[in-house]
């Protein structure tokens, strides 16, 4: 039983090899403008979500809470595969304040071969993917990953 647990945990939060890099892409911000996935200078956590995904809906308020308190890391939601109206509707319903981009063709998900959602991509300041986590994160897990992988600190 313990071995099965270790294997599952290892698969859900795997380091990334050189063959998986962020696609060269400009994505539309839900509130207007564009977002460059290739930007550098600040570590980021990119959270892939969809309106039809129940764990995504449950996780988004956690990301919003952490985004309001984190220092040194940008938190970005990437709506995957929905239409803009549906995505904006959920953002409004949950009163999300962190950056939201729109990826209607699931470019990020498909290029990184991510098969389930939610998924969170941890990116260092040089724009390199450090780790991809598949599945829902609670506040403690998210804060631990942000601190350990990207050096984040948090306001109380």
Do you know the residue count of the chain? 156
Is 118 within 8 Å of 47 (Cβ atoms)?
Answer: yes
Question: Residue 3 CA to chain centroid, in angstroms?
Answer: 28
Q: What number is the average pLDDT over the span 82-109? A: 96
- Give the whole-number percent of the chain exceeding pLDDT 90: 84
Domain edges within the chain: 40-150
Q: How far is CA 56 from CA 20, 51, 91, 100, in A?
A: 23, 7, 12, 14
Is 31 within 8 Å of 109 (Cβ atoms)?
Answer: no
pLDDT band at 156 (very low <50, low <70, confident <90, very high): confident
pLDDT digits over 82-91, tens only?
Answer: 999 999 999 9
State phi, psi for 86 to the nearest 5 degrees. -65, -45
Does the pLDDT value for residue 13 go beyond 80? no
pLDDT score, position 19: 57
State phi, psi for 153 to the nearest 5 degrees. -125, 165
Q: Regarding the domain with residue range 40-150, which homologous superfamily does it belong to in the CATH classification?
A: Glutaredoxin (3.40.30.10)
């Amino acid at each position: 039983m313990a071995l099965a647990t270790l294997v599952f945990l290892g698969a859900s939060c795997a380091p990334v090899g050189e063959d998986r890099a962020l696609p060269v892409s400009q994505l539309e911000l839900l509130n207007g403008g564009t977002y460059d996935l290739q930007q550098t200078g600040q570590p980021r956590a990119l959270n892939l979500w969809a309106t039809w995904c129940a764990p995504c809906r449950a996780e988004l308020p956690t990301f919003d809470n952490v985004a309001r308190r984190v220092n040194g890391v940008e938190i970005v939601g990437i709506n995957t595969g929905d239409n803009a109206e549906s995505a904006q509707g959920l953002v409004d319903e949950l009163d999300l304040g962190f950056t939201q981009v729109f990826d209607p063709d699931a470019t990020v998900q498909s290029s990184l071969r991510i098969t389930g959602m939610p998924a969170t991509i941890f990116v260092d300041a040089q724009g390199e993917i450090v780790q991809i986590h598949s599945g829902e994160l609670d506040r403690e897990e998210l804060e631990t990953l942000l601190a350990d992988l990207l050096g984040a600190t948090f306001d109380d």
